[in-house]
Structure 1
Amino acid sequence: MFLLWQDVSEIEKKIEAAPDSAYEIGLTIGTYLPFVVLVLVAYAFYYFSRKSRQD
């Protein structure tokens, strides 16, 4: 779902125009990092809410 919000063609154009491989790596990390952080935050909410119900 997150990938649908992003303009994939824009990312592909940036990768093609990248000056070196370090830029490509940074672009990839910057693209997926918000999604990973969102998943971790959602899991933390789930874990702590489940833990508080068991007490």
Structure 2
Amino acid sequence: MKSLILFLQQVNVEEKLKNAPDSQYQIGVLIGSFIPFLVLVALAYTLYYRAKKKEKNLNN
């Protein structure tokens, strides 16, 4: 399952930018390539915040 997800996530951004019809498409490709990273960062921050909050409540 993990290898299938990794295979689906492999996108050649440079090739898409080279074959882009106009600059708006290029901007969309760049934004679309950063969205998964931003979602993972937000998820990591949320999990970290909840863990710190839980630890603080256990110590009190």
For Structure 1 versus Structure 2, the TM-score category normalised by the shorter chain is 0.7 to 0.9
Shift of residue 13, structure 1, vs aligned partner: 1.1
Shift of residue 6, structure 1, vs aligned partner: 4.1
Name the structure 2 match of 1:11.
Answer: 13
| TM-score, normalised relative to structure 2 | 0.72
Name the structure 1 match of 2:30.
Answer: 28
Unaligned runs of 5+ in 2: 1-8
- Separation (CA, whole Å) in 2 of partners of 1:21 and 1:39: 27
Name the structure 1 match of 2:56.
Answer: 54
- Separation (CA, whole Å) in 1 of partners of 2:23 and 2:49: 38
- Structure with bigger gyration radius: 2
Aligned residue among 30, 37, 43 for 2:45: 43
| TM-score, normalised relative to structure 1 | 0.78
Unaligned runs of 5+ in 1: none
- Separation (CA, whole Å) in 2 of partners of 1:28 and 1:11: 8
Higher RCO (CA-CA < 8 Å; seq separation 6+): 1
Structure 1 segments, 4+ long, off by >6 Å, are none
RMSD: 1.4
